A = this chain, B = another copy of it.
Amino acid sequence: MSDLHENVSMQPWRGFASDNYAGVHPQILEALTRVNSGHQVAYGDDSITAELDERMAALFGRPVGVYPVFNGTGANVVALSSIMNQWEAVVCTNTAHIHMDEGGAPEKVAGIKLWTVPGVNGKLTPDLIRSAAHDFGFVHYAQPGAVSIAQSTEMGTVYTVEEVAAISECAHELGLRVHMDGARIANAAAALGVPVADFTINAGVDILSFGGTKNGMLMGEVIVVFNPDVVHGVEYFRKSFMQLNSKMRFASAQMIALLSEDLWLKSATHANEMAQKLKSAVEKIPGIAIEVPTDANAVFARMPEEVVERLQSKWRFYTWDSPTLVRWMCSWDTQESDVDAFATDIAAEMAARNAN
């Protein structure tokens, strides 16, 4: 049996597969030690979680409901359940994480049906919402109860403040509530350059999954309740749906560290910049097309399959739906040198291929 120390002494590496592949930001790791003395009441009645409440209130400009959970899927399913009736359905894009990447958790844990619509670069619009939100009162059609949008989206695009506001307005007119999946909300905030409140609480969003894991936390997301009038039972759903962290101080401390000194925005800004750098480097290479606007920290590029395969033998990244569409994610720890090296390899492989 090998020893852990040896095992991880192998050469560290970084790739462009996912912001989940990155580790924990050192300031966040330090925060764990700082709160690790003595006992604290479990399950959230601790002083550190109380502190997180204040931080979130400050961030959003007024008191909000704050519910740390384990992961993004958990945040989404608990948040959606708390704004819906049990018989209702959620309108989202067909590229949404809740549809494509959560192993059916909304359906299997909470019985939530999804009404999916195509999306435009991964984004929902009022017209698309209306195309699915109809037949109110007709029992045969699972009744639309909420809209869920991701900010930034699975396609790396970012809703403008106006787009979010228009979606909320449309949803509310129809009697639907609005959930935002903010697994990468920091990247959206960094991209938009406006206060996060502007495109959330002040843009009509009712409940938010505020992401931490993809932005340098060890694990943890926070459900943030903006509109308590349409939200019910978050604390019970969190427990019953197995997302209640017993030693919650360690989750809250991570999020506090993330919010401190704008670490969340600095990390996201850096990741976004690395994506821009990568995009700039590859978009001029003949034979490569940027398929989706690079608003945040993801680059979606179309390129020959054989080049994809050769690159994947050296670098970790995923294709997306098609063997010729690649997704390259940058993260808080992506180095300029990583981008340079990767872009150089891409250019070389493309050149070799084009030479044939």
Interface residues in chain A, defined as those with a beta carbon under 8 Å from any beta carbon in chain B: 1-2, 4-5, 7-8, 10-15, 17-18, 20-24, 26, 29, 31-43, 47-48, 50-51, 54-55, 58, 70-71, 73-74, 77, 81, 85-87, 89, 100-105, 107-113, 116, 139-143, 213-214, 218-219, 232-233, 235-247, 249-251, 253, 256-257, 260, 316, 333
Contact = CB atoms under 8 A, between A and B. Distances in A.
Contacts of A218: 32, 218, 247, 250
Question: Would you list the 6 A-B pairs with minimal beta carbon distance, nearest first?
Answer: A12-B38, A104-B142, A87-B236, A103-B239, A20-B42, A104-B113
Contacts of A140: 43, 100-103, 239
Contact of A48 (B1, B8, B247): B8
Contact of A141 (B81, B100, B108, B238): B100
A139 B256 CA distance: 24
22 contacts: A8-B34, A12-B39, A23-B37, A23-B39, A23-B249, A41-B316, A71-B244, A73-B242, A85-B232, A85-B233, A86-B86, A86-B110, A87-B103, A87-B240, A100-B140, A101-B141, A103-B239, A103-B244, A105-B241, A107-B107, A107-B112, A109-B109
Q: Taking the full assembly, how many copies of this chain does it contain?
A: 4
A321 to B, nearest CB: 9
Contact of A33 (B11, B29, B104): B29
A103 B141 contact: yes
Contacts of A32: 24, 29, 32, 218
Nearest to A23: B36
Given A2-B51, A36-B24, A107 B103 contact: no
B18 A42 contact: yes
A103 B7 contact: no
A22 B39 contact: yes
A58 B140 CA distance: 30
A103 B108 CA distance: 16
Contacts of A100: 140-141
A24 B247 contact: yes
Contacts of A73: 242, 244
